[in-house]
A and B are shown apart, each in its own frame.
Chain A
């Protein structure tokens, strides 16, 4: 194993080991736990940065872990420019979250397991990032799921937390059924689970389409794409830093990342890309519209994540993986910033509800500044990061409208139109949030003030890339790391997103202006409850999947107990009953015994005679 491969392993190993140590720490070892968590993330960051800056050829090294009847599973590291950059993003966010959490959860009495779980989460994501073997990738993939479960359920004061945690894991797990099957199909076709081997294998188009569609199920689950997006908004029950972690760099990004990892396969399966395009378009609008009507500040951000990830999916659907990754990176930066800043707000006012915020720009100047940068990036205001990446996505979609690329022309149209519409809505809800939280009259009872330094600094640090990362897209070296020559291209159509931005922001401002005390969303009228409940898809899911499954479970249990076990018990009782019958038959006088003997002999004789005669 080369030295660079060793460094790559460090991405995952450092937080992983820290996590294992942290899990067995006693609850009172709070400082040690925090230190360990930060150290782990720091080491991972250092390694990632080192590898990202070192450049050079892609690394592919590994050894056999185990062999399942000729199907080897290898512990392979496969790091290229993309992986290194994503790893940096993951590490940055993880470090920020670790530092932030120290202050945010200052009064939590179970900090060590929390910090360890965050480290484990980081390690799992890193494993997904660096693994060159699909099975090992799956390990990281699922460990992330369970970490999200643990962390979302961390807050024991929230009654909805356990439910949300279970939901998060289960919904993604359902998608993972497809993911596992897809991996299995690919591995079986290639005779190996190494990504390199899988990519090199020749698969029939049908098989490829099936496999990639199955993978897509898992991706949809992890990346919260329609129809498996329902877990993400509920996951807000977790502590805010966890939301940042999940939304920015780990869980939801993993899905998109894995698609780029296996992108040649997807490119060869246009049907899958078309499905992905439809999913992306639906999710984009769905998420954005749902975000408009939320009152919980974190839920607004959560729905925005759904919508933003759909941009990445859209880019993937039209055949532009580098652009998707570009948006992933910029989204990682600004979404982490948004959540952590929102955490500062929540920390300050003690509630998630925007109805009880307002006018906070004076009391929280730092937070105000940072959140403004974040929202601007989200809405795509030039020159913040989101502007460049989102524009790139729309540009590649516009190019794809002509067809002839990886995807069909209609997919390009669909993604492009949906993207434009979403840009408008995004601008609208970002403006609404900004206005509702920081402007108008204060609605909070207590005097709010800026967060402590440990919380403030990560936010400030994250504001930097949120503001500036977009310019990296202009850099050729950066683009080449992501696998393309240039990420950003301007043409006449680039005006359209800006127009949408202005229109959306203007509409929101106009609505707020009219009645600063009321929520601008009331302008939407009767659509509000529909949006607020995200088109009632939760209820649909509940009625179509959860309830039938539980009903089926009850039926199966009852029939298992009454029919299957009932048969067994009946056999036992039947034997005893037969015994009773036998004994009843023997309840006779002595003559009965003699009669049985004589009668038996007669019968035996008759039988023998028949036997002999029939010979």
Chain B
């Protein structure tokens, strides 16, 4: 166990714990807040794994934007602030499938990697990633721009209030 291992275990525990709260809490707003914790812990994990740029993008985009968006949605749909009793459906099938997928995947990964040790990868600085993106991944980048544009326009047209002329 190296320092990074200890960190990863700790952050992983935080992420998993927070994620557990996200899917189990009876408070809609708290779920959003726990999500912040979980995503933050994952971002920290990225840092440990030397993916700096991704980590910061995660913090900015997820913690900054997505979660805020989600909380807005919670408010807009007039979700109760306090605890609710009817947030969940009967959960045996969800438990079965969720546990199956999670544990099965974990088993596969454990089977594949055992307790193997690897060297830490070179740091994923913005420069390196940027280089990679703009030397090899221009096509998806460009297509992504169309995607984002479509998402933008679409989200606007769908959320535009009624009586907008059309």
Contacts and interface: CB of A to CB of B under 8 A. Distances in A.
A598 interface: yes
A591 B100 contact: no
Nearest to B94: A595
A602 B89 contact: no
A609 B97 contact: no
A605 B105 CA distance: 9
> Which are the 10 A-B pairs with shortest beta-carbon distances?
A602-B100, A599-B97, A602-B101, A598-B97, A595-B93, A602-B97, A595-B97, A591-B89, A605-B104, A598-B101
Contact residues of B: prevailing secondary structure: helix
Given A591-B89, A595-B93, A602-B101, 16 more contacts: A591-B94, A595-B94, A595-B97, A598-B97, A598-B101, A599-B93, A599-B96, A599-B97, A601-B101, A602-B100, A602-B104, A605-B104, A605-B108, A606-B104, A609-B104, A609-B108
B102 to A, nearest CB: 10
Contacts of A589: 89
A611 to B, nearest CB: 13
Contacts of A609: 104, 108
Interface of B: 89, 93-94, 96-97, 100-101, 104, 108
A504 B52 CA distance: 135
Nearest to B98: A598
9 contacts: A589-B89, A591-B89, A595-B94, A598-B101, A599-B93, A599-B97, A602-B100, A606-B100, A609-B108
Contacts of B97: 595, 598-599, 602
B87 to A, nearest CB: 13
A434 B32 CA distance: 124
A602 B96 CA distance: 10
Contacts of B93: 595, 599
A595 B90 CA distance: 13
Residue among A602, A606, A609 facing the most chain B CB atoms (10 A cut-off): A602
Nearest to A600: B97
Interface in A593-615: 595, 598-599, 601-602, 605-606, 609
A601 B101 CA distance: 9
Contacts of A605: 101, 104, 108
Contacts of A606: 100, 104
Nearest to A605: B104
Nearest to A589: B89
Nearest to A613: B111
Contacts of A602: 97, 100-101, 104
Contacts of A591: 89, 94
A605 B97 CA distance: 12
B160 to A, nearest CB: 24
Contacts of B94: 591, 595
A607 to B, nearest CB: 12
